[in-house]
Amino acid sequence: MKLQQIRNATMVVNYGGKKFLIDPMLSDKGTLPAFPHPASGDERDNPLVELPVSIDELLEDLDAVFLSHLHYDHYDDAAKKILPKRIKIYVQDAADKKEVESAGFTNVDVLTDGTEIDGIQLFQTQAQHGFGETLKLAGNVHGFVMKHIEEKTLYFITDSVWYEGVQQELERHTPDIVVVNGGDNQFVGGGPLIMGKLDIKKVHETVPEATLVVSHMEGVNHNTLSRRELKQFLADENISEKVLVPDDGQFYEL
């Protein structure tokens, strides 16, 4: 497989002969509002950086899009305008399907454990976008696993904190590659929305043979964990070889 970090949680995956776009935030730098009350103290408008590749490159030979949920740093107005209206889109539930279809998309399906694309098996996985009152505000999200006879098992945790549901999915699927959204995004007084460095270590400890790829970093204003800080932590814990921290635009063949 080939994984390319694009920006924030947006990634491109070439897997089993297909090309997939994950959680497209396609707006120009600074054209979306800042998230309010960021624990980072960063009040800049989003996205914080430009796309590292062209829109044409993202759309070339694209087979399908995966939406973990519909927050605007995962599915923005630019994506609604730019993505082909007939492109296959997978969402988490009927409510998200209805909302995506309301933007004119005509080929939207809810992802289930029975979904298959030309030999690629798909599995919907549990995720939890925070704790307590923060979780109530953040709403539902799902992750997914991809399996193919000629590929390693790939698990996108997506926007989730570390909790028993993620541990169960790791033990259920024993993935070879795990994409972790790890920017430790937080609002003032709200607690984590996604994983931080200690949570990433827990993922590694649960599947120590797997390679982790950390996404959702330095793209939006409520990220509190930098790539530099995470890399230093991984070096201190002697797990840098197992946890990859890509720059925007960087890709891996795994």
* pLDDT tens-digit map of 202-211: 999 999 999 9
Determine the pLDDT at residue 28. Answer: 98
pLDDT value at residue 94: 98
Q: Report the share of the chain in percent with pLDDT over 90.
A: 100
CA–CA distance, 121 with 155 (Å, rounded to integer): 12
- Per DSSP, what are the bridge partners of residue 241? none
The C-alpha angle 102, 104, 106, rounded to 5 degrees, equals 105
Residue 119: band (very low, low, confident or very high) from pLDDT cuts 50, 70, 90: very high
The per-residue pLDDT of the chain, averaged, comes to 97
Predicted confidence (pLDDT) per residue in 161-204, tens digit: 999 999 999 999 999 999 999 999 999 999 999 999 999 999 99
Can you give the pLDDT at residue 69? 98
Q: What is the pLDDT of residue 114?
A: 87
Q: Does residue 3 carry a pLDDT above 90? A: yes
- Output the pLDDT for position 64: 98
| Mean pLDDT, residues 76-81 | 98
Reading the block at residue 93, the tokens are: 């539930």
pLDDT (average), residues 68-82: 98
Question: How confident is the model over 122-140, as a mean pLDDT?
Answer: 95
**Predicted local confidence at residue 72, as pLDDT:** 97
Over pLDDT 70: what percentage of the chain?
Answer: 100
Q: Helix/strand/coil (H, E, C) string of 16-47?
A: CCEEEEECCCCCCCCCECCCCCECCCCCCCEC
Measure Cα distances from 104 to 24, 69, 238 in Å. Answer: 16, 17, 48
Cα torsion angle, 93, 8, 13, 235, sign: negative
User: Which of 254, 248, 253 is closest to 53 using CA atoms?
Assistant: 248
Question: How much is the average pLDDT of 7-14?
Answer: 98
- What pLDDT shows up at residue 27? 98
